[in-house]
């Protein structure tokens, strides 16, 4: 009996040219087929290997729920990496606690989270993670000082 990752990859292979994921951006959609998502996952696996992570290592993943996030998450799991999911809308104190507890060897941050924008346009919620400040706080507050922080794109 296949494990859940093998099942997901088999479904994506069968989906080949069908849309398997869709992001909504205002009134526009960004879609990805099974074949395209598998290609992103493969590129992600290569990207992860470049940093020397091995099965059992932890990697924190900070980003919005996007197609790229799914691809990175599946790539990490396929390499046997323990994924520590973090979200930019979480309170900074909560992110710091999670980072201290998990002690990841790598923090992968989505493109949008590397920018200057806060948790959302016009938001005054000071508890949400402000991306650049948040990464600096996470680095200072945890043992991540020597671990790299890297951004992702869909074109690894």
DSSP secondary structure string for all residues of 9-73: HHHHHHHTTSEEEEEEETTEEEEEEHHHHHHHHHHHHHHHHHTT--TT-EEEEE--S-HHHHHHH
User: Do 38 and 12 contact (CB within 8 A), yes or no?
Assistant: yes
CATH code of domain 4-152: 3.40.50.12780
pLDDT in tens, 117-140: 333 444 443 334 444 555 555 555
Question: pLDDT above 90 covers what percent of the chain?
Answer: 37
Give the pTM.
0.76
pLDDT in tens, 76-129: 999 999 999 988 778 878 888 888 888 888 888 776 554 433 334 444 433 344
pLDDT of residue 125: 38
Q: At 29, is the pLDDT very low, low, confident or very high (cuts 50, 70, 90)?
A: very high
Strands 28-33, 149-152: pairing kind: unpaired
């Amino acid at each position: 009996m296949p494990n859940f990752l093998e099942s997901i990859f088999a479904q994506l292979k069968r989906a080949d040219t069908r849309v398997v994921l869709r992001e909504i951006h205002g009134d526009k959609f960004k879609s990805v087929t099974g074949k395209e998502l598998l290609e992103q996952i493969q590129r992600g696996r290569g990207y992860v290997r470049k940093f020397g992570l091995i099965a059992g290592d932890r990697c924190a993943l900070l980003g919005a729920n996007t197609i790229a996030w799914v691809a990175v998450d599946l790539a990490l799991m396929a390499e046997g990496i323990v994924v520590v999911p973090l979200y930019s809308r979480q309170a900074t104190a909560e992110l710091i606690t999670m980072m201290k507890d998990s002690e990841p060897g790598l923090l992968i941050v989505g493109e949008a989270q590397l920018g200057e924008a806060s948790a959302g346009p016009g938001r005054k919620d000071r508890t949400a993670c402000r991306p650049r400040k948040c990464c600096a706080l996470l680095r200072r507050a945890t043992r991540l000082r020597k671990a790299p922080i890297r951004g992702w794109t869909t074109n690894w």
